Amino acid sequence: MAKKLVIVGQGYVGLPLAEAAAANGYQVSGYEVNGAVCDILNSGRSHIGDVSDEDVQRMRGLGYVATSEPACIGEADVVVICVPTPLSEDGGPDLRAVKAAASTISDWLIRDALVVLESTTYPGTTEDVVLPILERSGLGHGTGFLLAFSPERVDPGNPIFGIRNTPKLVGGVTEEATRRAALFYGDFVETVVSLKGAKEAETAKLLENTYRHVNIALVNEMARFCHDLGIDIWEVIRGASTKPFGFHAFKPGPGVGGHCIPIDPNYLSFQVRKTLGYQFRFVELAQEINNSMPAYVAQRLQDMLNDHSRALRGSRVLLLGVTYKPDIADQRESPAVPLARILLAKGAELSYQDPYVASWSVDGEAFASVDDVDVAAGGADAVVLLQDHSVYALERLASESALFFDTRGVAPEGRAIRL
């Protein structure tokens, strides 16, 4: 008989997982509090880019169902938690969704089930927060159920690495929990790596994202002083990247976006400060530098307009690409918003174009994506490339624009001015 899997939360992380498990023989239910999302999925449509409508229809054909009724948990061999962990006002993770999910699971948990937390969070959450809630079920860990942490490594829009070929880390509350979790993921992931425990798996995820955050901050800081010194940072990176060992290239840009990079390292610095009383200085510095990039881009734009004898106030500025990554629709934490906020406050006449975002709002002010990017670029006083969606004909756009500011270092040199 097919094993029953319930995935709690059917978003960017939970839905691709449901798809991979369903394709490999699991009887999958997606427990999702948002009824509208359940309706979309049950009608055979997808609400996220990495899973197509056809994928959802195939899943439906394999018995997949999305539901806001938690009773499915009462039949599950495995329950995986993929709910959001946004930042709370005090800078730590907001664990309300994780706690609510654990609480629902504890109401329905059956003997011998495996529960896995995938949501990104601070070290200790699995054992100190989720475990005690699950024990309210009356079942004990090791005797009644098993609990592990396995960080999600989804890279939305990545055409090469998906769930099956991205190695999966697992760390259980006990060795037995690690072993069960490794067996579960081994059914549909090529490489599963078992770690010593849940805390190590939680911290490994945070190290991965902190590493990116810090290295992006390093090149962002270098971009600023290289500009002042008259050195081309993009050439510097191109040169350094030819070293076949000991160097991994990161690119400067208008700031960091997405759910992970601007947020996850905070979980670690929050935990270090709260538990140990001292700072995780690398993270805090990286944050300061990366968060200052939208203001730096605004300043550079203002200087460029000044060189053309124009003030930013009253200038028509067209932003290209407002998502946080190229070629996807996700706008979470995109630096386009803080940049737009600064430009609007300085009196710029703002418009934007994004093939993935039909309408966009900044602090309640709504904008519609311009229809014809070439016409809009030609009519603007300045065009700022924020996201290098591959549909943009950069050479043409740069040549049509009075001023083309390329914050991604991708437009051919010549008419474009790079960050």
204: left (phi > 0), else alpha (psi -120 to 50), else beta?
alpha
Window contacting ligand NAD (CB under 6 A); options: 33-41, 106-114, 216-224, 283-291:
33-41
- Member of 27, 29, 106, 120 binding ligand NAD (CB under 6 A): 120
Q: With CB under 6 A, what is the number of residues at the site for ligand NAD?
A: 27
User: CA 275, CA 335: separation in Å to the nearest integer?
Assistant: 31
* CA nearest to 310, candidates 216, 213, 403: 403
- Member of 92, 156, 255, 321 binding ligand NAD (CB under 6 A): 156
Q: Does 34 bind ligand NAD (CB under 6 A)?
A: yes
Window contacting ligand NAD (CB under 6 A); options: 130-138, 148-156, 239-247, 286-294:
148-156
Q: How far is the CB of 103 from ligand NAD (least distance, A)?
A: 8
Q: How far is the CB of 12 from ligand NAD (least distance, A)?
A: 3
- Member of 5, 6, 12, 394 binding ligand NAD (CB under 6 A): 12
Q: How many CA atoms lie within 13 A of 177 on its CB side?
A: 29
Q: Does 10 bind ligand NAD (CB under 6 A)?
A: yes
- Member of 20, 28, 97, 116 binding ligand NAD (CB under 6 A): 97
Q: Does 119 bind ligand NAD (CB under 6 A)?
A: yes
* CA nearest to 396, candidates 382, 380, 381, 375: 375
Q: How far is the CB of 260 from ligand NAD (least distance, A)?
A: 5
- Member of 27, 29, 46, 85 binding ligand NAD (CB under 6 A): 85
Residue with nearest beta carbon to ligand NAD: 11
Residues annotated as catalytic are 260
Q: How far is the CB of 90 from ligand NAD (least distance, A)?
A: 18
CB 144 within 8 A of CB 74: no
User: CA 33, CA 202: separation in Å to the nearest integer?
Assistant: 25
Interface map 237-276 toward ligand NAD (x if CB under 6 A):
----------------------xx----------------
Considering only residues 310 to 369 of the shown chain, the ones binding ligand NAD according to CB under 6 A are none
Q: How far is the CB of 28 from ligand NAD (least distance, A)?
A: 14
- Residues that bind ligand NAD in the complex, under the rule CB under 6 A: 8-14, 31-34, 37, 82-85, 97, 100-101, 118-120, 152, 154, 156, 259-260
